[in-house]
Chains A and B, each alone.
Chain A
Amino acid sequence: MKLMDKNLGLVEVQKLEGHTDRVWNVAWNPAADGVLASCSADKTVRIWEQSSLTRSWTCKAVLEGTHTRTVKSLAWSPSAKLLATASFDGTTCVWENFATDSESVSVLQVHESEVKSVSWNASGSLLATCGRDKSVWIWEVLPENEFDCAAVLTGHSEDVKMVLWHPTMDVLFSCSYDNTVKIWWSEDEYGDYNCVQTLGESNNGHSSTVWSISFNAAGDKMVTCSDDLTVKIWKTDISRMQSGEGYVPWTHVCTLSGFHDRTIYSVHWSRDGVIACGAGDDTIQLFVDSNSDSVDRPSYKLLLKKEKAHEKDVNSVQWAPDKESRLLASGSDDKMVKIWKLASEP
């Protein structure tokens, strides 16, 4: 694998200061280069933009006054016209034209307690939310920033930490304090969503809270991370599913353990195959499949470990969506957002 041969390092490009409390999540604008959003326990969302002239990042907008408690998670719609935010105040807000005179905010208030995560499907037609009340909600996206409840999914026995739509199919994934990952699928576009699979300890799943999920670009592999200090890789036969054969189960590929010594909060798979993990040990670690160029079975190896990436826990890592930049954003308990570049060390 070419990546393994180069002398690569994670170089800090810039430290973005501004949040006044821990940063829980970061999310890149999928439609515009150099735009990043972050959300925090300080109840605000900040939008950061890279200047095309100076190449440096500044805070372009602060979305405040709407959430009354911690903003835990945020997600841009695929067109980036809408930004959804999930808060401990129990609401999910969807912002349109934020920080302009035509700003409109829709407030979805259904969860009985803290909302932990929000995710858009690939086409932007569906929104999913989840929270401490153990439920997962699916919303149909209507014109004029309106939403209709399409499904309320119960099944997790504890707090649901994250929801994520598959990158190419309308299959929903959720992970929880109950140590499982659940997969929700609807037979047709009018059908109900049902839990078609649960990845738990009995099928090589995690033994403690699962915090985060991410898919590779092709959507045939998934990575999960947990309080059990491991990262797990899963796979499915995506072409069979896409050809309409019905649901094809995910199976465990391997477990990466012994790398982090505190809870791994966030995992993200880049378009060119690098898995980034952020953890409570203040490190960011990158993993790649050293056999990806060959027909051999995958073999995931540590590409690099960035010690003291932040002064405190790393809560979120996300690769920029474009193919060339190899930029990584991270958010931490130290209140900072950092931009990194995966590049050859001089």
Chain B
Amino acid sequence: VCIHRVRSCSSIRFIKSKYVCVFDKSALKFSHQQRLFRTSAVSCGQIVQFKLSDIGEGITEVTVKEWYVKEGDSVSQFDSICEVQSDKASVTITSRYDGIIRKLHYSIDDIAFVGKPLVDIEIDASKGVASEEDVVETPPMSHEEHTHQEIKGHKTLATPAVRRLAMENNIKLSEVVGTGKDNRILKEDILNYLAKQTGAILPPSPKAEIVPPQRRAEAVPAAPKDKARKIPVPVSRPIAFAGKDKTEPVTGFQKAMVKTMSAALKIPHFGYSDEVDLTQLVQLREELKPLAEMRGVKLSFMPFFMKAASLGLLQYPILNSSLDENCQNVTYKASHNIGVAMDTGQGLIVPNVKNVQVCSVFDIAVELNRLQSLGSAGQLGTSDLTGGTFTLSNIGTIGGTYAKPVILPPEVAIGALGKIQVLPRFNSKGEVFKAQIMNVSWSADHRIIDGATMARFSNLWKSYLENPASMLLDLK
């Protein structure tokens, strides 16, 4: 049934529709609205006032708590429109029609009345009212609350695992032909459907011929049906991709990153990399780990790296300094507050261990444990995150070898540690042995640090780690 309506702007009166519509009359009202006159003959939709239906328990009024739609949004039947609350009950109101929201009758926190209009929906004239036979099944999982897996009318048979597979791939089960018993859709049917969509290579199915679903006329793929060939030839076809770009504002952790990195840009970086043979350190840690555990502390490699760095900084204090804004003065920091880059769920944070120069390896391990548990719980305090003078980033725990770390102002140096790999190396006798090799990549502020200083520091740090016993000589 089609309704034409011509609206005039000059008069408030409207022209009644010529055609009688087959709607539930009680839900229908012609709205007295003033609209702009259109010269072109546009067939507009019917505006339907969707009333707030009975909540039950004799409730007559509710409070509108949240709108899921705004004016101009298009909605489908069963989409959630708003959330209302009445006496400890939260009610999700869903749309009865497909159409476009034209008016919200209430604002948040207003009292809404049962039986009175809630929203005005413009129903698409060509479609008419959504029929109850609509097949509403397995839409992709949305972030809203209203996911529906009801199937009305058409019953498509499929196990939960198959349904999920279809859901994950945005496939409508109604478009897949089932080859199982009673036309049940099997996993293979989904995979075949996918293959045809993307032109993916699938090994030829050992089962009977797969009937291609009725789709728009396209070139018949030579691939899966041709059993003579071992490897089917991929046929390129236009890939239907329904994804959309998503824009969101930069906030929170990302905002912090943007600020830090933009400031870091001003620092002229130079890089210096090397490899460190950690064979002896690995062994030492294995021996010390149970001792630390007995004291209730998890011992990783970081405390060793940090202590060695601190010993190195004692010899090369310029790496633990700060350059002022005008590059007039260099401040040599007395404390070695060594920052440790941490990857949390939300992003990068760099808490620091204070005064590593007076801490033992065990002390550092204890403090690291504390920072790590606070970091993962999102409970680090401001003092933990400020005052850093030098930073180490153990990206190797995730992966990688060489890196190009960015200095965190107001510091002047940073080191990125790659993963420990077992590699063949030559010893002093010329024999090949199994070595535990880790790569380190330093970055430093070239305004006040030169390559030679960085290299010497790195060599010293490396020597402490390659021969951990030498640390004993210089421990303070």
A and B are partners in one complex rather than unrelated chains: no
